[in-house]
Structure 1
Amino acid sequence: MQSLILIVVPDGLCVTVIQGQDDWGVTYTSTKICAVKGSTVEIHCSYRYPSRINGPDTKVENAFWFIEKKNVENVYLKDDPRYSGRVQYDRDEIKNDCTLRITDLRESDSAVYKFRFITNHPNAYTGEPGVTLSVTDLKVSRSSSSSYLQCHSSRYLPDHTSYIWYKNGQKIKEDTSPYVDFSSDSADSYSCAVKGCGGFPSPSVYAPKLPSVSVSPSAEIVEGSSVTLTCSSDANPAAKYTWYKENEDSPKASGQIFTISNVTAEHSGNYYCEAQNTRGRHNSTLHLTVVADRSSSGAGKLVAAGTITVVLLAVILLAVFLWIRKKRASRDSSEPGERADNREQRQPEEQGDLQYASIRFSNQADPLYYNMRPAQPLRHTEQREDVEYVTVKFNSARTAPRTRGRGGGADPAALYSTVNKSR
C-alpha cells in the first residue's frame, strides 16, 4: 500500500514528503525551493528500503538524481555536461542520505528533480513527486525615484507575489509592493526575497566601502620612471573609480588603475581615488613623492668635471707650446753673428767627400809636377750636387811660344788649371 504524508511548516510552502510502499520510501524536506542565480542550493533527501526480501540482504547498487521531462528521455545530472563540476551527491549508506548540492545556479537549472535508487533485487524506487527548483535573478536596483529601491527579476513574478525586505540582514518589511524607501545612510545594505523563498534573498546592495589605495613601486619614485596607482572598494553595484589630484578640479584618470609614465617633480603631491555607485561614494588619499635620479646626476657631474679637466689641460699645453716657440724665435733673432760663426766652424766638419786638384805648369825647365790635396769640405748647406767649375789662367809671354824640345824644357807660357768637383 502506498501512502503520502504532508507536514506543513509555518511559511505554508515548505513541506516534508514521505512516499513509500511498505518499507520503501524517499523523503524530501521541501518540494519547492526558490534560489537566486549564482548561489548554491542543497536539496535534502533521505531514503529507506527493507533490509531483506525473501531471505537475502538488500543492497543498493546504484543511486542517482535526474530531471524528468515530458516526451524527453530522463536527464541524469552527472551525465549532463551542463552540470559538469556543479553537482554533488555522495550517498551515505549508513544514514541513507541522498542530499543533492548544485553550485553556481543558472536560470536554466529551474526544473523538477527526483531521486532514484536500484537494489540487488528486481526493485527500483523513485521518489515522487520530486522537488521543484526555481532559479531567479532576483536583484535590487535603484528606482527612477532616487529615494526608493526596487526588487525585481527577469523571470515573471505573479502580481500577488509578496516581497520581503532586509536592511543590514534584518527583516524590515513584507509587502506585495516591490519597492522600499531606503535611508540616506550610505553605510546601510539592502536585499529582498520572494515570500516562500525567504532563505534565498537577493544579493545586498550597498555603497562603496572605504577604498583601498596603493602605489607601485612602493619604494622611492625616481624621475623618469613609471608609477602605477591602484584603487579598489567593495561595493554592489560595482563601483566606478575616478582619480583626482589635490587642488585640481579636473579628474586625472578613470578606472581602478592610474599609470603615470616618465614622472617628474611636478607629479609630486596628494592624489585621491573616489569610488561611486548608485548607493553613495567614498574616497581615499595617498601621497606621491618624486625624487631626482641620483645616479644620472652623479654621472652628469663626472662628465662635466672630465670635460672641464680636458679643456683646461689643452689650454695649458697650448700656452706652453706658444711660450717655447716665442722664446726660440727671440733667441734666433738676437744672435745672428753667433750663428754665422757657428756655421763657419761647422763647415770643415760638415764637408766630407769634396776634393779638388791644382795643376800648375811652369815656364821653367823644371820637370812637370802636380800637387793634389784634399779639398776643404764645403758647408752642407752650400753644397751643390754635380757642380763642376774650372779656372784657367794664362800668363802672358813676350816671346813666341815654343814646343817642348828634346831637352825637356818647359813651355815658356805657364798654364794653371784648378778643378773643383763635388763627389
Structure 2
Amino acid sequence: MNLRTAARGFVAFLLSVPALQGDPNWAVTYPSSNICELRGSTVEILCNYKYPSANRVEKKLWFINKHKGAVDLKDDTDYTDRVEYSCVEPSCSRPSCTGTCTLRIKNLTQSDSAEYKFRITTNNGGAYSGAPGVKLSVTDFQVEVVILTRYHDGVQLKCHSMCYLPRLTYTWYRNGSQQYQGMYWFNINPEYRVSCAVKGSEHLHSPSVYAPEIPSVGWTPPGVIKEGSSVNLTCTSEANPVAKYTWTKVTTGHPPGRSVQGQQLSFHPIQSSDSGQYLCTAKNDLGTTNSSSFSIDVKYAPKTPSVSVRPPGEIKEGGSVTLSCSSDANPAADYTWFKDNQPLPWEPRRPYTLDPVSSKDRGTYRCQARNQYGYLGSNSFFVDVLYAPKTPSVSVRPPGGIKEGGSVTLSCSSDANPAADYTWFREHGGSVEELGENYTISNITTELGGNYYCEARNAVGLQNSTLMFLNVTATPSSPSSMSTTVAAGTVAVLLATMLLFIFLWMRRKRSSRKARGQGGRPDTREESPPCPVYDNVSALTNRSASAAQREPIEEQDDPHYASIHISRSKNQEVPRGFAGSLVESDHTEQVLYSAINLKRPKAVPDKLMSDTTIK
C-alpha cells in the first residue's frame, strides 16, 4: 500500500463547493476534506476545478489561511523544497474547461497541520478557490501504557495514532530489533526500549517507551557551595513516560531521611547542616531507577573553637599536659595559639604537649581557628600550674646599718603556687614563732643580732631562704649603752674608793709602826694631819708607790693587790664622781671585769678605822 492509496482510504466524505455561487461554470472541489498523516511521511492533496471556456487561466496556486491573503506555498519559507504542484492541463469544451491539480508535501511535520486551499486566476481578473479546503492532521504514533494486575505485575503496551487509520498493521521493535506485528505488547522488561511503526512505513517509528535511565544530578550555581548561598539541585533522567522524582538525604549507617518530591531540590539559604549524601529516584510506570549518591559539601568558616586540656584536674610542675583546639569548619581549620595574648610558634593543627610542664607555662591561653572562608577565636582559659616555692628572697627595712633601739622589718617572698605560708627562724635559735611574710623586731638590741632565714611552704613542697645577717650597732642613746656606761662608772668609783681606803690604811699602819719603834703608843701620839685628796687614781697610785720606796714596810706578810681594767666605747662620758680619766678603747664592745683581793692586817687599830675619812 503506497501513501497516496492509504491517504485516499482515509476519506470520510467528499465535499464539493462551487467557486462562484449561481454560476455552474466556476468550481473547485476536493475529494477529501480531512487527511491524517504520520510525521515524516509525504501527503498528496487533490482538487478538481472548472472555469468558463471564454477565460484563460493565468496562475494556479495552493495556500493556507495563516497568511493574510493567498500566498503561494512555493513562496512560503516553511515549505521551501518540500512542496510540489502536479496539475493536468484543462480540457475545454463549451461552456467550460475542467482540470485537476495535486499538492504534494514531503517530510511532514506537526506544524504542517492546517487547512489547504486551491486558487485559479484568469485573464479577466477573476480569482476563485474552494471553501472549505482540506484539513491536514500530522501526528506521531503513540504508545499507551496499561498496567496489568490480572495475572501478575506486568505492563501492556498499545500502539495507536491520533487519527483514525483503519486497516493498519503495526510492527513492534525492542531495543531497535523487530519483534512481531500486532497492536499490543505484553510484559515489558524495565531494560527494554519498545517502539512501533506502521507496516509499509517502518522507517517511521513511534517514540520508544522505557523505564528511567540512571539519573544525573547537577547544581546551580556551579562551583564551590558556600554556606548562606542559594543552591538548586536538579535531577534528570531519560524516561518515557516522563519520570517523577524523589529526593532523599542518606547517611551511612542511618535510615534514609525525609523525602522531598520534585525534580529540583532547593536550599535558600544552604546551611552547613545540609552537607551530606543525597539520592535522587526517578520513577515511571515502567520502572524505578536511583542515581548515584550525590555529595553536598558546604564550605564555611570556623565555628566556636573549643579548647580541651588532658589530663583534667590539677596541673603540677614536672607533669605532662596536652592542649587541643577544635572547631567545626570546612575545610579543616588551622590553629594559632596565644599565651597572654602573644602568639606561640606551635604547629597549626596538632595538639601541643607541655612535657614537662613548668611554672613558666602558667598563664592564659586561647586559640584562633582559620580557613580561607574566615576565622574565629576561642574563649580564653587559664592554665594553673601548681609548684613548690622557689628559693625565697629576704629583704630588710630600713636598709643600711641597724642601730640598737630601732625597729627592723624582715620580709620574705617566694614564687609559689598556691601562695606560700612563711615561718621565721634564727640560726642556732630555732623558730622565732613568727608566721607571715613580714617579721618586725621593735626596739632591737645587740643580743638580737645574728643570722635569720625564712621557710616558705605550700601543699606542693617547701624551701628555705639564704641567711640574712643582722649587725646591730650600739648607740649612746640606746638603753643598752646607757646601762653599760652606768655599770662601768659604778665599778670604777667603787674601785677608786677601795684603792684610796687601802692607801690610807697602809699609811696609818706605817705611822703606827714608827711610833712603836719610838716607844710611844699610837693613841698617845700626836694626831697625824689629814690625808691629802688626790685628783685622780693614777696620781694616788704613783704617790703610794713612791712612798713605799722611801719608807719600806716592815711587815709584808699580808699582801694587798688589785687589778682594774675598764673599757668603754668611744666618746663615752665618764660618770660623775669618778676622778681622773680612763684609757679609751677602740673596741666598741668589750667585757668589763675586775679582780680585787683584800686581806686585812691582823691588828688594825679601831681608832684608825674610825678616824679614816674619805673625802
TM-score (ref. length: structure 2): 0.33
Bigger-Rg structure (1/2): 2
Which fold has the larger relative contact order, with Cα–Cα distance below 8 Å and residues 6 or more apart in sequence?
Answer: 1
